[in-house]
Amino acid sequence: MSYDEKLAGRVRRLLRHQRGAAEKEMFGGLAFLLDGRMCLGIIKKDLVVRVGPERYEEALARPHARPMDFTGRPLTGYVFVAPAGCASHATLERWIRWGVDFVSILPAKRKRTVKARRGR
């Protein structure tokens, strides 16, 4: 697992009072979830922010932000933020707020049901 532990600690401190916050190792980095939905992440030294489709262009216009494209195809609604784009407390806090705000408006996640297997 390769991600910036110092950045992870900063994100943890800012999310510590957020209800439903959790962490999960994903896609070679660390994801931060709210009620099971990813809102932020860290891959190597970059912050990943789930801003949603409505705020996507606005997010890309911010300094040091670029499309999230680790698969070779941009993932609309997610941006990478280079370390310089979240170096200050205020800028990191803003990115976190955008991720939390987007995930907070999503409908409740449905619980998966396990289908009974019929005997053979």
pLDDT, averaged per 10 consecutive residues of the chain (120 residues), comes to: 91 94 91 94 96 96 93 90 97 98 84 59
Q: What are phi and psi of 96, to 5 degrees?
A: -60, -45
Fold type of domain 5-104: Aspartate Aminotransferase, domain 1 (3.90.1150)
Backbone phi, psi, residue 15, to 5°: -100, 0
Instruction: Give the residue extent of every domain in the chain.
Output: 5-104
3-state SS class at 78: strand
Please give the pLDDT value at position 111: 65
pTM of the model: 0.86
Phi, psi of 27, rounded to the nearest 5 degrees:
35, 45
Query: Residue 13: CB partners within 8 Å, gap ≥ 6?
Result: none
CB within 8 Å of 77: residues ≥ 6 apart: 50, 51, 52, 53, 56, 102
Strands lying side by side in the sheet with 78-81 = 21-26, 29-34, 37-43, 46-50, 78-81, 65-67
